[in-house]
Amino acid sequence: MKYVIYIIQSLMLLLLTPLFMGIIKNLKASIRGYEACPVLQPYYNIAKLFEKGRVLSKSSSIITLIAPTLCLCACVTAAFMVPVFFNDGNPFVGNLFIIIFLLGIVKFFITLTGLDSASAFGGMGSSRELFISMIAEPVMFLTVAFLYMETKSLNIFAINTAVAGMAGFDVANCIAAMGFAVLLVAENARMPVDNPETHLELTMIHEAMILDTSGRDLALMELSSWIKLMVFVTIFINCFFPMGMTGAVAFVPVILSFIAYILKVLVILAVISLVECSMAKFRLFRVPELLSAAFSLSLVAIVINFF
């Protein structure tokens, strides 16, 4: 029964992801004061893209053919490695490093896709993406180190249980959460690191790399970047704010926990939309400053915990 819930929760995460994207679009529209598309629009978009044929570049190689599938598979696998709203201590999977490196598959293949079609846009996007992810790597290391020092485990299920069991809510946890939030933004191509809405060469990072994919491939790429964002959000929630999480195999607690999860996700999505509506994108060479701020925050959190 317990394993059925594990599978169901990850399936829910995967199925609801386009809805969450629709909610972000809606929230942004209402903040900016214009009429929004239907909340379910991302589902229609994906369905539409699956119907369409695809255009391949003359220059492209096998990378363009396999990358979308591999990216999506990596994200789906990662989604099955994290607790969403039910956690009874999964002994088989959940090593944080493995989850992060699984999501790294997306980075590896998406940057190769950028180079594959011989377009200047793609190369530019890959170069910028790798630049940002290189600078972001230390923040990732520090966050995992912080969680290990706090809970003595690298397993996200155990981390979740341990953080949920902490008596008070300490300062270090909040500071580390702030650092991880910046990392979340940087790794998932959101404002102020990357603007997910434009196709202007000055601002593109993520969009530049998938500029030459179309049809089914584009659908898979879009889905994988959305799932990646939601997996990061889920990790964020379950490592830093695991209130309301249940471990009981019963109907009511699971439903309550599910509602708590949805509420937390909605708060985070609201923050993301607010940031995206109120800030301009950073110049590329100011992104390291943002990430070093995140770095300092995580370092402070570790130092607080150490002494």
Instruction: Restricting to residues 214-273, name those near another protein by CB under 8 A.
Output: 215-216, 220
> Which residues, other chains included, contact 181 with Cβ-Cβ below 8 Å and sequence gap of 6+?
236, 294
Q: Which residue from 9, 17, 26, 111 is in contact with another protein, where contact means CB under 8 A?
A: 111
**Stretch in the footprint of another protein (CB under 8 A) among 21-29, 122-130, 182-190, 268-276:** 122-130
Binding of residue 304 to another protein (CB under 8 A)? no
Kindly tell me which residue out of 30, 59, 198, 278 binds another protein, with binding defined by CB under 8 A: 59
CB closer to another protein out of 62 and 250: 62
Residue 63 interacting with another protein (CB under 8 A)? yes
Q: Which stretch binds another protein (CB under 8 A): 51-59, 162-170, 254-262, 265-273?
A: 51-59
In 3-state terms, what secondary structure has residue 58?
coil
Nearer to another protein, 29 or 112 (CB): 112
Q: How many residues of this chain interact with another protein, rule: CB under 8 A?
A: 77
Asked whether 267 and 20 are in contact (CB, 8 A), the reply is no
Query: Token pair of 100, please?
Result: 């992060």
33 or 165: CB nearest another protein = 165
Using the Cα atoms of residue 265, residue 266, residue 271 and residue 276 in order, give the sign of their dihedral. positive
Among 18, 22, 67, 80, binds another protein (CB under 8 A): 80
Q: Which of residues 16 and 56 has its CB atom nearest to another protein in the complex?
A: 56
- 43 contributes a contact to another protein by CB under 8 A: no
Q: Which of residues 88-107 bind another protein (CB under 8 A)?
A: 91-95, 97-98, 101-102, 104-105, 107
277 binds another protein (CB under 8 A): no
Is residue 53 near another protein by the rule CB under 8 A?
yes
Q: Which of 89, 231, 245, 94 has the alpha carbon at shortest distance from 155?
A: 94
Which residues partner with 246 through β-bridges? 86
Nearer to another protein, 264 or 281 (CB): 281
| First CA to last CA distance, the chain | 43
Q: Among residue numbers 1 through 40, which ones bind another protein (CB under 8 A)? A: none
User: What is the Cα Rg of the chain in Å?
Assistant: 19
In angstroms, what is the minimal distance from the CB of 228 to another protein? 14
Burial zone of 251 (CB within 10 Å; 0-12 exposed, 13-18 middle, 19+ buried): exposed
Task: Please report, as a single letter, which amino acid is at residue 104.
Answer: G
**Residue with smaller CB distance to another protein, 215 or 244:** 215
Site residues for another protein, window 151-210 (CB under 8 A)? 152, 154
Cβ 87 to another protein shortest distance, Å: 17
Q: Which residues, including other chains, have CB under 8 Å from residue 160's CB and lie 6 or more apart?
A: 83, 87, 238, 239, 242, 245
The smaller minimum CB distance to another protein, of residues 41 and 133, is found at: 133
The residues pairing with 155 across neighbouring beta strands, listed in sequence order, are: 95
The residue from 133, 253, 262, 270 that contacts another protein (CB under 8 A) is 133
Separation in Å, CA 4 to CA 1, 103, 126, 170, 200: 5, 24, 39, 34, 45
Mapping DSSP onto H, E and C, the string for 136-175 reads HHHHHHHHHHHHHHHHCCCEHHHHHHHHHCCCCCCHHHHH
Tell the smallest beta-carbon distance from residue 146 to another protein (Å): 9
